[in-house]
Structure 1
Amino acid sequence: LSTPRLELISLDGALQAISLTGAAPGLPSYTVTDQGDLVAGAYLKAPGLGAQIATMASAQIGNAQYLWVSETGRSGIDCYRVTGASSLRAEPAHSAAGA
């Protein structure tokens, strides 16, 4: 059994716990309530996000929020812009090839 790995991030103003140990492609997300409970949400998906996520980072840049992810079995880091509490848009111009 693997140890759960969670990242806490705010997506479009909603605090989310993102699991990096899911078996399916994408990012399984859980909303964090005011009491600290986790409520199952939807998988965060975007075009090109087709494998399990190995690592992830996020940053707010100006008025936009971005996620950078590396996928299991693939090289490189892909960039996605957060477009809602459960939606992402690929940003190929910001992707880092060979990272």
Structure 2
Amino acid sequence: MRSSYLEVTFRHGRPLTAYLYLPRSPGDRSDRVEQAGSGLLVDYTADGKPIGIEITAPAQVGIAELNHVLAALRAPAVTNEDIAPLRAT
């Protein structure tokens, strides 16, 4: 996968949780998870490559916080349009 994409799980029409898939190679698997802020968990491969961010509290995570984590991971920033499903009501 060459680009990031967002997968959102809804319950009663509201975002319950989300996962931002980061660019990865076929066969990459999560080996460890680290907290990266309030409501953000980063999955890493065994060799330390970040492969995704679980967003456990979509209503509480802002774009600035998410982009701060992405910058630290040297991953592409997201736009308001990219995370629009997190703002569904």
TM bracket (short chain)? 0.3 to 0.5
The one of the two structures with greater contact order (alpha-carbon pairs below 8 A, sep at least 6) is: 2
Higher helix share: 2
TM-score, normalised via structure 1 length: 0.30
TM-score, normalised via structure 2 length: 0.32
